[in-house]
Amino acid sequence: MEDREGQGSAEVTQEAKQRVFGERLPLAEHFARMLTEHGVRRGLIGPREVGRLWERHLLNSAVIAELLTPRSGVLDVGSGAGLPGIPLAIARPDITVTLLEPMARRVAWLQEVVAELALTVEVVRGRAEEGPVRERLAGQDVVIARAVAPMERLTAWCLPLARPGGRLLAMKGASASEELARDRVAIERAGGARQEVLSCGGGVLEVPTNVVVVERAVDVSSRPVSTRRRSGKRRTRKDR
């Protein structure tokens, strides 16, 4: 997971929770309990995160709802524990949320959460760069990713899943502007048009959520970009 530097750990008030989730706050509290009771044991969150779930995870995720237009179709890439997709689905019942996750054990968790909270959310197993996934899920209004990869790779994987004129929202830390400047050329090559860094939740969080926003070009005439995942050495992974 990418460095989440700069994220505050102050105690979150009930007023802040109510402001973000409104009458659906009980669902968010239920999700928080599920993460507290099962998250560490199932490898979804680290032990240190239990005491700061609201500030660093639930509210941090949900506040980006302010960037979503009504009834948007939203794809959460690499959803993991359900962040940011589950908090967004709770805070904004008008949007259509799909959770994309490659690991079977995490997919099982996401399906349990969706059933337990009775959310209208689809869970799909796969990776953003896979052909069958793109055929099934392309055309999203918004593609969201949290702590997945640097922008150079993230745009190559995720922009093809957005409709022309759609957006990629990449949740980043304090170095969001520097990363955007560094990878701007690669982002344009992947089909990115307008690019900017926005802050969300300034009136709720001690440290607002930084989001790199990349709009997919309406006329995508850029050359193909490799979407293969690179690593230092070949390794095998047993999916639990």
Is 161 among the annotated ligand-binding positions?
no
Sign of the Cα pseudo-torsion (158, 161, 165, 168, in order)? negative
Is 48 among the annotated ligand-binding positions?
no
Is 202 among the annotated ligand-binding positions?
no
Retrieve residue 94's tokens.
Answer: 């008008």
Is 78 among the annotated ligand-binding positions?
yes
Retrieve residue 98's tokens.
Answer: 């799909």
Retrieve residue 74's tokens.
Answer: 């939203």
Is 216 among the annotated ligand-binding positions?
no
Residue set of the binding site for S-adenosyl-L-methionine:
78, 83, 128-129, 146
Residue set of the binding site:
78, 83, 128-129, 146
